[in-house]
C-alpha cells in the first residue's frame, strides 16, 4: 500500500485521510477483517455504537498487536444516548467494548434537532476530551445551523463533520461551510453504497483511462476534494483494492466530468428530520 496522507485537525492532532469503514460489518466478522486490514497497512478504523461491532473491532485491534500510537480509532454516540450524563455512560460502554484507553475521535452521530439535546451532548464531549479519554471531538450529519449553535455556545469548533458525500450527492455548500469553519469533511457512503454508480459509463471511462477500477476512481475523487474517507467492505480483495489509490491522480477534466453527476440524491436519512 502506498503511503496514506495525513491531515491536520483544528486541534493539532493528525488523521489518516483514508481508513476502513465498518457500517454493516457483523461483529463476528470484524476481528479477522480488522486484523487483515491492519496487516495490509490500514491505520484508521471508523465504527459506531450503533453498528453493534465495537467489541469485534476492539478484538481485531488487540489481536493485530500494532502500537496504539500508530492507530486512529473513531466511534460515535448513538441518538438515544444524547444528553450530558447519558453521553458519559454511553462513552464508558463504547470504550470498554473497544478495550481501549482512549479513542482518537468521538462523534455525535446525528444532531436529532427535535430532541434538542445536542448542545448538552457536546458539553459532555468536551468533558471527555478534558479527561483525556477522547483526543478529538467531532460531529456527524450536522447542518450549518447546528454547527453554529455548538460553536457559539461553547467556543469549541468540531474537528470533523462526517456527512453523506458521493458523486450523486456532492454537498458542495456543506463542504465549503465546513472548510470555512476549519472543520474537515469526512464522507460517509463514499461509494454510494456500491450500487449503480460503479456501473456509470462516465466513471467506467475514467477508470479505463487510468487503468483503475470504478471504485478506485470514486475514492480518488474524494481524496482530490480533500475529504477523509473510509470505505466499508467485508471482502479482503476489495479492502486491498480500495486502498490502492495513492499512485494516481484525477486531472481537471476528470473532476469536471464527475461534477456533472451531482443529482442531490441522498441514500441515507435527512439530518433535519432523523432521530
- Asked about 106 being catalytic, the answer comes back as no
Beta-ladder partners of 213? none
Phi, psi of 186 (to 5 degrees): -105, 135
The three three-digit cell numbers of residue 160, written as one number: 470533523
Is residue 265 at the binding interface for ligand A2P, with CB under 6 A as the rule? Answer: no
Is residue 198 at the binding interface for ligand A2P, with CB under 6 A as the rule? Answer: yes
Q: Does 109 appear as a known binding residue?
A: yes
Is residue 1 at the binding interface for ligand A2P, with CB under 6 A as the rule? Answer: no
Is residue 191 at the binding interface for ligand A2P, with CB under 6 A as the rule? Answer: yes
Nearer to ligand A2P, 157 or 193 (CB): 193
Three-state DSSP state, 248:
coil
Rule CB under 6 A: choose which of 76, 117, 222, 232 binds ligand A2P: 232
Q: Which stretch binds ligand A2P (CB under 6 A): 5-13, 31-39, 116-124, 183-191?
A: 183-191
Contacts to ligand A2P from residues 135-164, by CB under 6 A: none
Q: Please, is 274 exposed, middle or buried when counting C-beta atoms within 10 Å of its C-beta (0-12, 13-18, 19+)?
A: middle
Three-state DSSP state, 47:
coil
Nearer to ligand A2P, 150 or 207 (CB): 207
φ/ψ bin of 12: left (φ > 0), alpha (ψ from -120 to 50), beta (otherwise): left
Nearer to ligand A2P, 190 or 275 (CB): 190
Which helix (H) or strand (E) is 86 found in, with range?
helix 84-98
Tell me which residue of 138, 54, 35, 34 sits closest to 95, measured CA to CA.
54
**Beta carbons of 138 and 110 less than 8 angstroms apart:** no
In terms of DSSP bridges, do strands 103-108 and 134-140 run parallel, antiparallel, or are they unpaired?
Answer: parallel
Residue number closest to ligand A2P, CB atom:
194
Is residue 231 at the binding interface for ligand A2P, with CB under 6 A as the rule? Answer: yes
Nearer to ligand A2P, 128 or 223 (CB): 223
Is residue 190 at the binding interface for ligand A2P, with CB under 6 A as the rule? Answer: yes
Contacts to ligand A2P from residues 8-67, by CB under 6 A: 21
Site residues (vs ligand A2P, CB under 6 A)? 21, 189-194, 198, 215, 231-235, 238, 241-242
Binding site, annotated residues for substrate: 109
Amino acid at each position: 500500500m502506498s503511503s496514506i496522507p495525513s491531515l491536520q485537525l483544528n486541534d493539532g492532532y493528525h488523521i489518516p485521510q483514508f481508513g476502513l469503514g465498518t457500517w454493516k460489518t457483523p461483529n463476528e466478522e470484524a476481528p479477522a477483517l480488522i486484523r487483515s486490514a491492519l496487516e495490509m497497512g490500514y491505520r484508521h478504523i471508523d465504527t459506531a455504537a450503533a453498528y453493534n461491532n465495537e467489541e469485534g473491532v476492539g478484538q481485531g485491534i488487540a489481536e493485530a498487536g500494532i502500537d496504539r500510537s500508530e492507530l486512529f480509532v473513531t466511534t460515535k454516540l448513538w441518538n438515544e444516548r444524547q444528553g450530558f450524563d447519558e453521553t458519559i455512560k454511553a462513552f464508558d460502554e463504547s470504550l470498554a467494548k473497544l478495550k481501549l484507553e482512549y479513542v482518537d475521535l468521538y462523534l455525535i452521530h446525528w444532531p436529532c434537532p427535535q430532541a434538542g439535546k445536542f448542545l448538552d451532548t457536546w458539553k459532555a464531549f468536551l468533558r471527555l476530551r478534558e479527561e483525556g479519554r477522547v483526543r478529538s471531538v467531532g460531529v456527524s450529519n450536522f447542518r450549518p445551523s447546528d454547527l453554529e449553535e455548538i460553536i457559539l455556545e461553547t467556543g469549541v469548533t468540531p474537528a470533523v463533520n462526517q456527512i453523506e458525500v458521493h458523486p450523486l450527492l456532492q454537498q458542495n455548500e456543506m463542504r465549503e461551510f465546513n472548510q470555512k469553519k476549519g472543520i474537515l469533511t469526512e464522507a460517509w457512503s463514499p461509494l454510494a453504497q456500491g450500487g449503480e454508480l460503479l456501473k456509470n459509463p462516465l466513471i467506467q471511462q475514467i477508470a479505463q483511462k487510468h487503468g483503475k477500477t470504478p471504485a478506485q476512481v470514486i475514492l480518488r475523487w474524494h481524496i482530490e476534494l480533500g475529504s477523509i474517507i473510509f470505505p466499508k467492505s467485508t471482502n479482503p480483495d476489495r479492502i486491498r483494492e480500495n486502498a490502492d489509490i495513492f499512485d494516481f491522480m484525477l486531472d481537471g477534466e476528470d473532476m469536471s466530468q464527475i461534477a456533472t453527476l451531482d443529482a442531490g440524491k441522498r441514500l441515507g436519512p435527512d439530518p433535519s428530520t432523523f432521530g
